[in-house]
Amino acid sequence: MTPLRLSHWQSLLLFAFLVSIALGVLSRRSPTEQVKYAARSLFWFLLIAIGIGWLMYPFSR
C-alpha cells in the first residue's frame, strides 16, 4: 500500500469529519438530528483545534 501523505489540515479534517459522523449517528435518533449534531460536532472540533493551535503559536518560536 502506498503511504498516504496528508497535511496537518487534511489530517484534522479527516479525523473530525469521520468522528463527527459516527458520534452523530450513535447519539441521536432522527436523521435530521443526526446531521445537525454531526455538523455542530465538526464545527467545534475544527474551532477548538485551530484555537489551541493559535494559543500554542507564541511558544513555537
Partner 1 sequence: MNDETTASEQSVRTVHSDRRAAFIALAAWLVPGLGHALMKMWGRALACLLCVGALLLCGAGMRGNLFTWETPDPFSRLGFIADAGSGLFYWVARSVEVGGPDVSHSDGDYGTRLIAAAGVLNLLAALHAYEAARGRKA
Residues that bind partner 1 (CB under 8 A): 1-6, 8, 11, 14-15, 18-19, 21-22, 25-26, 29, 31
Rounded CA-CA distance 20/26 in Å is: 10
Judged by CB, which is closer to partner 1: 18, or 47? Answer: 18
Minimum distance between the CB of residue 4 and partner 1, rounded to whole angstroms? 4
User: How many Å is the maximal CA-CA distance in the chain?
Assistant: 48
Nearest CA to 44 out of 19, 7, 8 is that of 19
Judged by CB, which is closer to partner 1: 8, or 61? Answer: 8
